[in-house]
Amino acid sequence: MSERVVLAYSGGLDTSVAIPYLAEQTGAEVIAVAVDVGQGGEDLDAIRRRALDCGAVESEVVDARDEFAAGYCLPAVRANALYMDRYPLVSALSRPLIVTHLVAAARRHGGTIVSHGCTGKGNDQVRFEVGLGALAPDLKVIAPARDFAWTRDKAIAFAEEKGLPIDVSARSPYSIDQNLWGRAVETGFLEDIWNAPVEDLYAYTDDPGQERDADEVVITFDAGVPVAIDGETVTPYEAIRELNRRAGAQGVGRLDMVEDRLVGIKSREVYEAPGAIALITAHQELEAVTVERDLARYKRGVDQRWAELVYDGLWFSPLKQALDAFIDDAQRHVCGEVRLTLHGGRAVVTGRRSETSLYDFGLATYDTGDTFDQSLAKGFVQLWGLPSRIAAERAARVGGV
């Protein structure tokens, strides 16, 4: 029996051409695996058939939408995961899930090689291969676009030579990756970072400048997990889809940023993530109500590190797993409701309530009913500032600070 290559298959030009090309270069049979993480667009059964028509000996389509929502997007909500305080990890979250299904397919079909369509300039090659190394270090990896200096011109010529059943005449001016959590757009005229995005590159969000009525939504959380919208129970997948629809209709979740790629270059990216931004905004506010001050302060650093690890392809790392355990414990009391107004491209918190709230009206109010003993404050202030005062007295005595 010949070797078998398990290919992460999208149905596009590059991965379709990779099927006969890998067969020629390696002498191996190719198994195409497409993973549905809510990317929408083309019919996945058509993608499965195209892989077979291009020469794959087996072709699988995995419906991983619920798995992606519950196992990958929700941890990102609980970690308030925003890389560089802005990017909600649209592509980065899907890669470890795809890796798990590539490994599973390799085990089922006797695969010894895994292949992907990433280039040598991007983050995704790292996410795929570091994940594969963590889950299945025995598998070899081939990346045609990187390892064989594969260009789009070569891919088109090869497709025409082989008569592959794919359309290579029309080309989007952008490189697009999308899933349930959001949509990433790059290349083309966006590579000049002075050029403003144009409206036709957006698909998940409507123009935030359009006149429309605001939309008010109430999100219910249990231990940091969204469990209801406007009182209606939802699954994680349903919650994200509904907020993509409603927040997207208000233009929420558009981002235009220059980010620091793992490989050391800066890259201009335009993102749409309406559901992600709405959920993280609401979750952060509920944490402000229910998480004790020092725990909240420490968790902000954990959240940032968690996002960096996921962005850098270290989903399966020991540190990421340890941070997951910390975050899980910190979410025990993050229960309650947050009201958002969605309008003009913004998700604005207008109300919050929780049975596990640490907010005490009697302590907070300045009106009748105040239970705060202000007589204690003077001594507290003196003791709190004592180290600084002692240091200042020394500076006055010996000079310096």
Give me the catalytic one of 4, 14, 50, 115.
14
pLDDT surpassing 90 at residue 149: no
Do 83 and 195 share a domain, yes or no?
no
Each residue of 86-136: pLDDT tens digit?
999 999 999 999 999 999 999 999 999 999 988 888 899 999 999 999 999
- The residue among 171, 187, 220 that closes a domain is 171
Do 31 and 94 share a domain, yes or no?
yes
110 domain-assigned:
yes
Q: In Å, what is the CA distance from 30 to each residue of 64, 108, 159, 210? A: 22, 13, 17, 48
Mean pLDDT, residues 180-188:
93
Please indicate whether residue 124 is annotated as part of the active site. yes
Do 348 and 243 share a domain, yes or no?
yes
70 domain-assigned:
yes
Between 149 and 189, the more confident residue is: 189
Please indicate whether residue 294 is annotated as part of the active site. no
Provide the residue range defining the domain that includes 152: 4-171
Give me the catalytic one of 91, 115, 124, 267.
124
Do 8 and 121 share a domain, yes or no?
yes
**Known binding-site residue numbers for L-aspartate:** 119, 123-124
Q: What is the CATH number of the domain that holds 32?
A: 3.40.50.620
The total number of structural domains that make up the chain: 3
What's residue 1's pLDDT?
Answer: 58
pLDDT surpassing 60 at residue 175: yes
Do 45 and 167 share a domain, yes or no?
yes
Give me the catalytic one of 4, 50, 78, 95.
95
Please indicate whether residue 167 is annotated as part of the active site. no
Per-residue tokens: 4: 């078998």
The answer to whether the beta carbons of residues 174 and 270 sit under 8 Å apart is no
**Known binding-site residue numbers:** 8-16, 87, 117, 119, 123-124, 127, 175, 259, 271
Do 182 and 151 share a domain, yes or no?
no
Do 96 and 191 share a domain, yes or no?
no
What's residue 51's pLDDT?
Answer: 94
324 domain-assigned:
no
Alpha-carbon distance of 225 to 235, in angstroms, equals 10
Do 90 and 63 share a domain, yes or no?
yes
- The residue among 171, 203, 223 that closes a domain is 171
What's residue 218's pLDDT?
Answer: 98
Position 167 confidence tier, pLDDT thresholds 50, 70, 90: low
337 domain-assigned:
yes
- 339: enclosing H helix or E strand: strand 336-343
**Known binding-site residue numbers for L-citrulline:** 87, 123, 127, 175, 259, 271
Do 25 and 65 share a domain, yes or no?
yes
Q: How does DSSP assign 303-328, residue by residue?
A: HHHHHHHHHTT-TTSHHHHHHHHHHH
Do 165 and 262 share a domain, yes or no?
no
Please indicate whether residue 43 is annotated as part of the active site. no
What's residue 171's pLDDT?
Answer: 60
**Known binding-site residue numbers for ATP:** 8-16, 117
Do 91 and 215 share a domain, yes or no?
no
Do 185 and 138 share a domain, yes or no?
no
Give me the catalytic one of 175, 317, 354, 357.
175
Dihedral (CA of 303, 309, 315, 320) sign: negative
